Amino acid sequence: MRFLALATDYDNTIATNGRVADATWAAIDRLRESGRHAVLVTGRELSDLMTVCPHVDRFSRVVAENGGVLYDPATMESRLLADPPPQSFVNALRERGLANFSVSQTLVATMKPNEIIALELIRDLALDLHVVFNGDAVMIVHPGVSKASGLLAALDELQLSALNVVGVGDAENDHALISACGMAVAVDNALPALKQHADLVTSLPDGQGVCQLIDAIIADDLRSRSSSLDKCRLPIGARHDVAGAEPVSIDAYGSVVLVIGGSGSGKSTASAMLIEKLEEAGHQLCIFDPEGDCSNDEYTTVVGSARSAPDEEEVLQLLQDARGQRAVAVNMMRVAPGERPQCCVQLLLRLQALRAKTGRPNWLVFDEAHHLFPAQWASADGTMPDFESGLLITVNADQLAPAVLRQVNVVIATGDDALERLKSFATATGNEPPDGPSSAVSRGEALFWRPSDEVACVVTLEKGHRQQRRHRRKYAEGLLIPERSFYFRGPGDRLNLRAHNLVLFIELAEGVDRDTWLYHLRRGDYSRWFREVIDDDDLANEACEIERDDSLTPKESLERMRGAVFRRYTQPENPTLPKLEP
């Protein structure tokens, strides 16, 4: 369920002439019975609201005084979200002979045209105050106080994100309210400017329009209304097989996207772009990271490491922050490979309960998904929860459990063999294989396919705005899986020395004999590993230059390779040597 709350204005929205009709109360009751919250957000003073609204207890929270007061009907407790009006301002209003105004806990209320006097006094007294209009009503509040700020405080207590809220109003001060919500709605009697600002406009006025909106929310979670809205879609690129480079996007809610491609195909770049766009749109992500690719930065908090398994309680605690825009990455390097599927599903079941309550995390991301949902995992059919909105990243579809593949409704394939990988997905899911282009897919492009379509199209992927994050700690001192490690074998496979990170690669290189070092150097094995596994084109290009420079002695080439690695990656103090394999 996407929309878990309705935030509504009072006057001329749910109320007509200050009163709420019985039919509107009945609709609010239906909303609550569906498992959703109703939040009232009004410019009225709380005491005044209580006299005209007999059923305040229908609301999970009440925001009064245009964002200045937050009230919990269940406990009948209120708290101020803003400072009281400056006494100097109140005194000056009285000195000017203004009688038609009231002073509440956080604002001064009056009527037009008294805003002229208020603005003159704000200027003369050099006060930091803000004038807000609501029809003919005028409110003077502290800067930063609005219906939006009050709503966010209410949602924080309810552990809800504004993305999961529908906001509805009718007047000037409702711009902030509906802008803060995942879906902005204006009733039919709203000001033209608010209607223009809204995503949806009801066909009926005030309470009748709200009833109409509530019934639409209950019917299909507004999917039929929201699917065509730009704000509810995620742009990923443009088709170039049609005139005008037609934009390609996916639904930001309800999409389960599979990104498949080999090493060096652009799969990581495509996935990073999708994650970046989700983060920029305000979606909270939970990223399952079996290889330790994610690092702590301004966008992501990592739980777990190569030395300690992730703590479920810590993951859930971080995700419960309704205002948290940071992704939470679950580093599973310390979890034994055979235990990762069960560990993942165990956490997913708890996340499913959190999502039912709060709608978050908005998206689940599964990097190297074949480690988490392997094709041979026999118990997947009976334990696999619904992803709802998710991103799965892997090499090939046939590596994933059928129970996972059945949830996929968008496939993005990268690399020269992208069409073959799409066909592999179709075979694994029992779909008719798609038609596709005869030419290879270039770097920066991908094949885009919905299983319901007959044809896969070539898409030029959008580029991320942020610099791609380097996972330096993982590659410097982490534990790469055997098939992604580097092996010093030498001529005739005399050796079998495994380097499961870059530091060990250099340490082993310094210990192998001259013939072994040169054997891999002349074959271009070092640059190939840097490009295809480490996914560092800059390091791979520098390694290529070293490999091609015949003037270098073995010692000189090793020293240059060592410098290229350590200029980019941090050497840990006590690296762990790998076990030698027979």
Q: Which of 525, 519, 570, 556 is nearest to 543 (CA)?
A: 525
Helix intervals (H) in 387-463? 402-405, 418-429
CA distances from 132 to 14, 297, 336, 338 (A): 21, 38, 59, 60
- Global pTM? 0.80
Whether the per-residue pLDDT at 470 is higher than 60: the answer is: no
The whole-number pLDDT of residue 576 equals 42
Question: Pick from 123, 126, 79, 88: which is nearest to 108 by CA?
Answer: 88
Percent of the chain whose predicted confidence (pLDDT) is above 70:
93
Say whether 233-461 and 5-82+145-226 share the same fold: yes
**Is pLDDT larger for residue 70 or for residue 305?**
70
Confidence of residue 324 (pLDDT cuts 50, 70, 90): low
Please state the rounded mean pLDDT for residues 347-365.
93
Q: Where are the domains of the chain?
A: 5-82+145-226, 83-142, 233-461, 472-568
Q: What is the pLDDT of residue 218?
A: 97
- Please tell me the predicted confidence (pLDDT) of residue 440: 77
* Residue whose pair of structure tokens reads 């005739």 in the numeric block: 492
- pLDDT confidence bin for 264, thresholds 50/70/90: confident
Asked which of 85-99, 431-445, 519-533 is least confident by mean pLDDT, the reply is 431-445
Radius of gyration of the chain (CA): 29
CATH architecture for the domain at 233-461: 3-Layer(aba) Sandwich (3.40)
According to DSSP, the β-strands at 61-64 and 69-72 are: antiparallel
Which residues, at least 6 apart from 280, have a Cβ–Cβ distance to it below 8 Å? 465
pLDDT at position 466 over 70: no
Q: What is the mean pLDDT of residues 339-362?
A: 93
Lowest mean pLDDT among 39-48, 470-479, 547-556, 561-570: 470-479
Q: Is the pLDDT of residue 506 over 90?
A: yes
Q: Please tell me the predicted confidence (pLDDT) of residue 240.
A: 73
| Residue 117 pLDDT | 94
Lowest mean pLDDT among 16-20, 153-157, 536-540: 536-540
CATH code for residues 5-82+145-226: 3.40.50.1000
pLDDT at 153: 96
Share of the chain above pLDDT 90, in %: 74
Is 60 exceeded by the pLDDT of residue 336? yes
Euclidean distance between CA atoms 466 and 463, whole angstroms: 9
Q: Which of 27-31, 519-523, 576-580 has the lowest mean pLDDT?
A: 576-580
502: tokens are: 């870059």
pLDDT at 197 over 80: yes
Q: Could you write out the three-class secondary structure of 299-351?
A: CEEEECCCCCCCCHHHHHHHHCCCCCCCEEEEECCCCCHHHHHHHHHHHHHHH
Could you tell me if 74 and 154 are in contact, meaning their C-beta atoms sit under 8 angstroms apart? no
Per-residue pLDDT, 578: 40
536 or 183, which is more confident: 183
Residue 300 has pLDDT above 80, yes or no: yes
Longest CA–CA separation in the chain, Å: 101
| pLDDT tens column, 521-577 | 999 999 999 988 887 888 999 999 999 999 999 999 999 999 999 888 754 444 444
At residue 193, does pLDDT exceed 90?
yes
Average pLDDT of the chain is 90
Give the pLDDT band (50/70/90) at residue 326. confident
Dihedral angle of Cα 119, 125, 126, 132, to the nearest 10 degrees: -30
Contact 185, 11 (CB under 8 A): no
* Closest by CA position to 501, among listed 483, 485, 487: 485
Asked if residue 579 has pLDDT above 70, the reply is no
Average pLDDT (134-146) is: 92
Query: What CATH number has the domain spanning 83-142?
Result: 3.90.1070.10
Number of C-beta neighbours around residue 342 at 10 A = 14
Q: What is the pLDDT of residue 574?
A: 40
CA distances from 116 to 101, 140, 173 (A): 13, 12, 18
Give per-residue pLDDT as tens, 115-124: 999 999 999 9
Give yes or no for residue 362 having a pLDDT over 60.
yes
Quick check: 371 pLDDT over 50? yes
Is beta strand 5-8 parallel, antiparallel or unpaired with respect to 37-41?
A: parallel
User: Is a pLDDT exceeding 90 seen at residue 580?
Assistant: no
